[in-house]
Each structure stands twice: as C-alpha cells, then as structure tokens.
Amino acid sequence: MINRFECDADLSSGRYIIDAKSIMGIFSLDLQNPLSLTVYENKDIETLEESLKPFLYKEEDE
C-alpha cells in the first residue's frame, strides 16, 4: 500500500528497521509484535494517513 506514495518510509519492530516498501523485509519482521512506521517526506501526507487509518493503532496520551 505504501508503494503508491512517493516517499521514503521505514518499518521498525524492536531493534530492527527495514524499508517499508520491501516485501522481503516485512516478512523478516516478527509480525506478532506492533510495528512503527516512519515516513520521512511526503507531500501528500494527509492522503497517506487516511489510507493507512484502518491499520493504525495509536495510544492516546493521558
């Protein structure tokens, strides 16, 4: 899904960081643990956030 956007992005799980656009990299992560997505630059960040919304979990600050 992130491949549709012109941006650089990484996925991280614990101490592992991979290119978010790499299918092989994604399969190398432990997908039972939460993943963090870091997007470095995207001119259309609102559209990206909206398309990823169904897959995101964000803890609310207390």
Instruction: Report percent pLDDT > 70 for the chain.
Output: 92
Largest CA distance in the chain: 37
pLDDT band at residue 11 under the 50/70/90 scheme: very high
Tell me the pLDDT of the chain averaged across its residues.
85
The rounded distance, in Å, linking the Cα atoms of 23 and 18 is 10
Dihedral angle sign, alpha carbons of residues 12, 16, 17, 22: negative
Q: Which residue has the higher pLDDT, 9 or 34?
A: 9
**pTM assigned to the model:** 0.73
Tokens of 23: 């299918």
